[in-house]
Structure 1
Amino acid sequence: MARILLKNLSKHFKNVKAVDSINLEIKDGEFTVLLGPSGCGKTTTLLMIAGIYKPTAGEIYFDDQLMNNVPPKDRGIGMVFQSYALYPHMNLYDNIAFPLRAQKMKKDEIDRRVREVTKNLDIGKLLDRRPFQISGGQQQRVAIARALVKRPKILLFDEPLSNLDAALRSYMRAEIKKLQNDLGITTVYVTHDQIEAMTMANRIAVFSMGRIQQYDTADNIYNYPSNVFVATFVGTPAMNILNVEVKNYNGEFYLQDENFKFKTLPQRREIMAKLVEKKLKLGVRPEHIKLSLKKTEDSIPAEVYVLEPLGREVIYNIKVGNSILKVLTEERMDLKAGDRIFMSFDRNKYHLFDADTGKAIDISLR
């Protein structure tokens, strides 16, 4: 196994900075996900780790060995692509054995390794079939087997589940996570799907515009986002963002816009006093907004805009002034578009960001 260290790593394509001076450490045996929208630099980073792209600047280390000029075949990696890249004219056995034959390994050792790796992936009985004769999930397992049969120190995945249906994606997420836990191979997994990232990773690197916005555990990224981009990209539905200011009314501090006032906790007076009159963004996750048919002291009038039933849960889109907020709840209310409603924020569960930089402001109570 191996530790991966990226130091000031950059990749430019003419005037485009696909990856812009990133620093990242992936510990030995860790499952790290590179998460972000299309064009953010995550796949380019993976391909530099693999040796397929040469960095414009910066360094790549596996343990203490500099890898910048080491060819892909000598890096001790296994790679699984989105397209699986199986040879259609070969049966599954030959597809899996191909990289070992390229190394001119002895026939009996090849056979032993193929049988061993396919047993763990439950495809041992399919080895005489061609790729077109098996399902998408089985093709994915063959691609993983071909990567693992080389006994790599590092396993790289490039959006491997994108071509599968929702049910199969869910199943394969669990299978890949269990396999990585069992084998303990250092794994880097690229995806734009935040559910894959949140459910599979030990740590997540959130990318945007060629830079890492936050690198942390899934829980910390969800509960303590470093900026507005991370806050809105991670979480379904996305975090609600409102422009607000802090106002002081006789020693009581409120978050306020033109449509509402939101009283903050007394314990945050010292924090809020430093933010008075500053332009801020208030972030509230949909599950931290409460709805009621009755007005209370802290509630804010709103109007139902549209409902999105999800089965067990419902997303209520509510209109507050010119803003549309999403509220996620299991509570069923007899509401329809246009109905009046009252909402309130959880005063312990909201986020503040600098309106100019987008960076999170620490309002935690210690």
Structure 2
Amino acid sequence: MSKLGNIGARLYRGEVGYDFIGKRKIWYGISILITITAIVGLAVRGLNMGIEFSGGAVFTAKTSVSTSEARHTAESAAGGHQAVVQKLGGGSLRIQISGLDTKQAVPVQEELAKDLNIPVKDVNTQLVGPSWGEEIANKAWLGLGIFMVLVVIYLAIAFEWRMALAALIALIHDLTITVGVYALVGFEVTPGTVIGLLTILGYSLYDTVVVFDSLKEASKDLTKQTRFTYGEIANRSINSTLVRSINTTVVALLPVAGLLFVGGGFLGAGMLNDISLALFVGLAAGAYSSIFIATPLVADLKGREPQIKALAKRVKAKRAAAAAKDAGQEDTEEPAPATADAEDGTAVVGPRQQPASRNRGRGRPSGKRR
């Protein structure tokens, strides 16, 4: 943990970092590939809409019959209508049959009780009309639209329209992936799914706003300096909040994973599957889009401004001049001047030798005998 904290501190100070902005085309390609896969899955398989949206009947009974036997029994009693059977806690089964009205539900209830060897009163029946499900769907779409509009307005006021547009694209990206996963997995779409989708939108925005706030603070008076471009400032903002985003995402995913794999997988809680799958996929996609999609999109949109283009040219020119200056200094560093040796005239590298003084030895005995 201390090493992780040290890395986070170095990322925050800009001592180390990863070039998210420079490699944004890779992230765009990955997102496009995942989005296309989700759209194809949605078009081919479609969504498994629950009876809350399509209308039908739900029968709940406590029995020892397996889910496959209960499904076969329910479809036979319903006259060919498709049945969805889920195992609940305490040995109970939830049998959902779409397209049944009140008159059809009563005979099916009696037939189920007979085939399952339980009293009719022990088969709990709930009816959902298609008009009520349609009303829920319309309200869900209306709430989603209002949410998107308010988000764009708020981000445009608090930050700028480029950040609002990038956040909106990231939200659509997260929604598309989550809905596509639902289509591929075949989980039932219920009101719990809608709740999960609205929840992940808020969480995705949380991570995005954190990065945007850091970017807004770091880019003040950006055009008055020539050290960094806007893309480099955006990259430093992502790196400075990277550890926080990872920590919050992991902490949020752990309980959701417990709901999905333990609650939904082992305990057989149907409603937990609907909510937890949307939360799990949406939280992961939201964290990814906040780092790899939203901020790089802002850098691309901002880089088209004349002022930001001019800044990039000034930074590039300054760095080129500095590089040329350093190269020139290295070229002008010459070795010490060569001097000729007094005896053989060969060049010698080193400090220049001073000639011997002509007055050398004057006034001293020559050593000759008289």
* TMscore range, shorter length: under 0.3
TM-score, length basis structure 2 = 0.22
> Is the strand fraction higher in 1 or 2?
1
Q: Which has the higher contact order (CA 8 A, sep 6+)?
A: 2
TM-score, length basis structure 1 = 0.22
Question: Which one has a bigger Cα radius of gyration?
Answer: 2
